[in-house]
A and B are shown apart, each in its own frame.
Chain A
Amino acid sequence: MFGDYSLSDLGSIFVMQGFAGLILFSVFVLMALGLAIIFGQMGVINMAHGEFMILGAYVTYLTATFFQNHLPGLFDAYFFVAMVLAFLAAGALGMAVEWLLIRHLYRRPLDTLLATWGLSLILQQAYRSSFGAREVGVDLPGWMIGSLQATETIEIQINGLFIMALTVLITIAVGLMMFRSRWGQQVRAVVQNRVMAGAVGIDTGRVDRLTFGIGCGIAGIAGSAFTMIGSTGPTSGQLYIVNTFLIVVFGGAQSLLGTIASAFTISQTQSTLEFFTSGSMASVITLLGVVGILMLRPQGLFTLKIRR
């Protein structure tokens, strides 16, 4: 399979595929971070996570259209506004959903799964009714178009670099929030021992709502970043939900570091395989590998001991 390529070609191929894998990795991390908080920390299966992501993408689309029509001078900066709006919109919807739906079902995780699947169907149809069934794309600001020519055979896209930088920033922010802020301390306390956390005066209901909201908000940001490299349709979210859940489970549900490590492993495997076989076989092999490893090691790569 290597016969037709010279050594330097092969080097370039690995670098380019590695870079494509890094972009995939960034998107996976952004999607999985929100889920790692909601599923890993709270134990809630949110099947509508993909739809929260798409909400962020549509908010970005609306913001881009608004800037194009009313503030063309500031178009270069619209993305930052869109990201904040996407976070707020998805977060607000998330908190509303937690209050209306999820909080009644904390003791029945499998039922949460069915209810949030219902929610995802409703959201999909709502997107289809308001934005149409066709996929929509946004115009990138001028500075994000183009690529850096690293060597003769290697080029790197700027929007990909931007997404990677964004992912690093958001990951650091989430890490700081979880491990340095008072909210993070409370979340971890509630995860470790809900009853005791309540007994020492933590409002566990409020922590739950906020946690769910922030997880959904991060999904919104992921959707917003997603518009930079692809178009958005009403059912785009569903394509990613299985991958995202597998990443979180594979990494060890309670560990943020595990989530990142598993997103890296899965994305690199997939993008390298994609070059040698078809795209569909690459995902089949990758996913089968993940499922196989999970059967041997159900607790995932990284585990955290907690009291149940």
Chain B
Amino acid sequence: MMQNDNPFLTRLDWLSLALLAALLLVAFPLGLDTFRLNLVGKYLTYAFVALGLVICWGYGGILSLGQGLFFGLGGYCMAMFLKLEASTVENTKIQSTPGIPDFMDWNQITALPWFWQPFHSLALTLLLVVAVPVAFALLVGAAMFKRRVSGVYFAIITQAIAAIMTILIVGQQGYTGGINGITDLRTLAGWDIRTDGAKLLLYFVNAALLIGCILVAQSVRRSKLGRILVAMRDKEDRVRFSGYAVASFKIFAFCLAAGFSAIGGAMFTLQVGFMSPSFVGITPSIEMVIYAAVGGRTSLFGAVYGTLLVNGAKTAFSESFPELWLFGLGALFIAVVLAFPDGLAGLVRNRLLPWAGRMLARGGKPAPVRPGMVTK
């Protein structure tokens, strides 16, 4: 993999990127009505989390079961900005304290607490949407990786942190909106986000951001950093003894994953119009891991397809056989782990591409063998 003629994107990557862009930017908007497109947009916000997990788990070998936390933090930051904009003195004059969000008024809070103050400003909000979760990931990552906590223990502790955050959000409803979350969001800097036109535009912004994040992840994967991550996943001690600060690389991967998740969370809030603790806890966090696993844990593009596939199946099942969905999801977890550890991407790499290669080779010269394609 170390040759100099290895470009940023191989021919196969270009093909995958073009295919994904065509699907997201052309096929879905043309083929789906606004409601379904908005639904796909919602799924794509989960794909940001799955993408982060590919870098963090697939490449770095760090399984975080608390990614919903970062998704939620990003989403809550965005939601608070929208909520403050919706709670003008004019709109809330029936409250006992006009000008603060309604859920605060219901809980006898009379002034906006200091930690929500920065969210009056759009520029600051856009910064904090990414900065808060990344700073949190930095804190957690630095505390744990410096002490060489990894693998299973890291998974359990991140899970616990996600659980704590859920309990905290639900318990402190005067500050966070409690179990209902932050709802009734209307405008972004005066622009109504509930119209069909706004939803269409937000879908395109979301898809473009996702493709941007894929390119960022790709540049990490292609760089020396990406190779160190893989080396660390496979033989951590050997990397450490070669003189690399293993902890710093892990912290970076974890923070990058947190940043991606936060962008997804903010886009979720904008497209769906609310944020609630049900996206923060353990259950959503583990479900997001399965999106990455179904797509193939080492495949950036697979993460997107895995997310779309699992969520599509979820919606289809829940509409017709709600009873069966949990059985299906449970079986999916087991099947992906036991039978298809490389997910969809593994099927494409090991079955579809060789088959396509043979089909093409029948007409002309034999297909070239590409040893670098399987990353395991």
A residues with a Cβ closer than 8 A to B are: 43, 45, 101, 104-105, 108-115, 117-122, 124-126, 128-129, 238, 242, 245-246, 249, 278, 280-281, 283-284, 287-288, 290-291, 294-296, 298
- Compute how far the CA of A126 lies from the CA of B143 in the bound complex, rounded to whole angstroms: 40
CB of B164 within 8 A of CB of A295, answer: no
CB of A125 within 8 A of CB of B323, answer: yes
CB of B326 within 8 A of CB of A122, answer: yes
User: What's the minimum C-beta distance from A246 to chain B, rounded to whole angstroms?
Assistant: 6
| B293 partner residues in chain A, CB cutoff 8 A | 114
CB of A284 within 8 A of CB of B168, answer: yes
Quick one: given A110-B63, A287-B164, are A118 and B156 in contact (CB under 8 Å)? Answer: no
User: What's the minimum C-beta distance from B129 to chain A, rounded to whole angstroms?
Assistant: 24
Give me 14 A-to-B residue pairs in the complex whose CB atoms sit less than 8 angstroms apart, sorted by A's number: A109-B151, A110-B57, A113-B65, A115-B337, A117-B286, A118-B330, A118-B333, A119-B330, A121-B326, A121-B330, A122-B327, A125-B327, A246-B160, A287-B160
Tell yes or no: B118 within 8 A of A by CB: no
CB of A298 within 8 A of CB of B153, answer: yes
Whose C-beta in chain A lies nearest to the C-beta of B323? A129
Quick one: given A125-B326, A278-B171, A281-B171, are A118 and B332 in contact (CB under 8 Å)? Answer: yes
In residues 129-143 of chain B, which contact A (Cβ within 8 Å)? Answer: 143
Which label, helix, strand, loop or mixed, suits the secondary structure of the B interface? helix
Q: Contact mask B115-127 → A, CB, 8 Å, 1/0?
A: 0000000000000
| A245 partner residues in chain B, CB cutoff 8 A | 156, 159-160
CB of A295 within 8 A of CB of B147, answer: yes
CB of A118 within 8 A of CB of B149, answer: no
Partner of A242, one of B160, B329, B341: B160
| B148 partner residues in chain A, CB cutoff 8 A | 298
CB of B333 within 8 A of CB of A114, answer: yes
User: What's the minimum C-beta distance from B253 to chain A, rounded to whole angstroms?
Assistant: 15
- Compute how far the CA of A113 lies from the CA of B152 in the bound complex, rounded to whole angstroms: 9
- Compute how far the CA of A288 lies from the CA of B165 in the bound complex, rounded to whole angstroms: 10
User: What's the minimum C-beta distance from B258 to chain A, rounded to whole angstroms?
Assistant: 17
Nearest first, the 6 A-B pairs at minimum CB distance are A118-B333, A280-B171, A122-B330, A121-B330, A125-B326, A295-B143
- Compute how far the CA of A278 lies from the CA of B174 in the bound complex, rounded to whole angstroms: 14
CB of B282 within 8 A of CB of A242, answer: yes
In residues 318-342 of chain B, which contact A (Cβ within 8 Å)? Answer: 323, 326-327, 329-334, 336-338, 341
User: What's the minimum C-beta distance from A203 to chain B, rounded to whole angstroms?
Assistant: 24
- Compute how far the CA of A284 lies from the CA of B176 in the bound complex, rounded to whole angstroms: 15
User: What's the minimum C-beta distance from B172 to chain A, rounded to whole angstroms?
Assistant: 8
